[in-house]
Amino acid sequence: MNLIVDVGNSSVKLAVFQDYKLLESYTSSIEKFFEKFQEIKKDYPQIAFSILSSVIKDTSELEKILEKEAKLYVLNESTKLPFKNNYASSQTLGKDRLALVAAGSLKFQDENLLIIDAGTCITFDFKNNANEYLGGAISPGLQMRLKALNHFTAKLPLVDLDENVPLIGDSTQNSILSGVLNGVSAELDGIIDRYKAGYKYLTVILTGGDTQILSKRVKNSIFANPNFLLEGLNYILEFNKTQ
């Protein structure tokens, strides 16, 4: 049984897998990680392996906790991957993007695949039908755009995200929401169209925290999978067990 730990800037996502089956997932603050970890171990004492992926540099305390209970793999530049990585600056490639491509190589190994992760940033990652990762793009996410409009102007307010917004904003708030939501939706559709023009039989996965709100607005055919990153980390763990 595997424990997956994905540390973000402000929270930690955890998941328990039995082989390739997701049993349960959790979200915790970094401060309450030890408490949540103990709860999970109590519910699943069979956990024997774990993998840690983190955007923060110092994970020594987390590693000490995990190492005591299970064999730990830490995702880094030297971790063996289940796909060929053709990214030019692999040392600066985000671990979340590696995990997403790993999930793609598990479920769509022989397909041209575009993975869109809609979170703090919107990342686009492309894997071809030869199971080679070529790269992609990084764009500001919904919340980042809303905050930027407020921060870099004198009078525009910071508004809360609301998916029920018309194309034509009838107030400053609705104009901001229309610009951000419709702008991002058009961006996604436009990029998907360009990939489709260059690669036949393209499969598109949409994942990340803003999956639900964006999946309703994208015109192109997509597969929404909020657990794609966790599945990818689990696959990397399973892959490295056999190396």
Q: Which of 192, 182, 73, 176 is nearest to 125 (CA)?
A: 192
Whether the CB-CB separation of 56 and 241 falls below 8 Å is answered with no
Q: Among the options 19, 43, 58, 96, which is catalytic?
A: 96
Query: Is residue 21 a known part of a binding site?
Result: no
Give CA separation, 72 vs 22, 65, 156, in Å.
Answer: 19, 10, 47
Query: Is residue 10 a known part of a binding site?
Result: yes
Query: Is residue 203 a known part of a binding site?
Result: no
Query: Is residue 12 a known part of a binding site?
Result: yes
Q: Which residues are within 8 A (CB) of 159 and not within 5 positions of it... i.e. 6 or more apart?
A: 146, 150, 173, 176, 177
Q: Which residues are within 8 A (CB) of 131 and not within 5 positions of it... i.e. 6 or more apart?
A: 83, 84, 105, 109, 110
Is 58 a known active-site residue?
Answer: no
Query: Is residue 6 a known part of a binding site?
Result: yes
Query: Is residue 153 a known part of a binding site?
Result: no
Query: Is residue 119 a known part of a binding site?
Result: no
**Binding residue ranges for K(+):** 117
Active site residues: 96
**Binding residue ranges for ATP:** 6-13, 120
**Binding residue ranges for substrate:** 87, 94-97, 172
**Binding residue ranges:** 6-13, 87, 94-97, 117, 120, 172
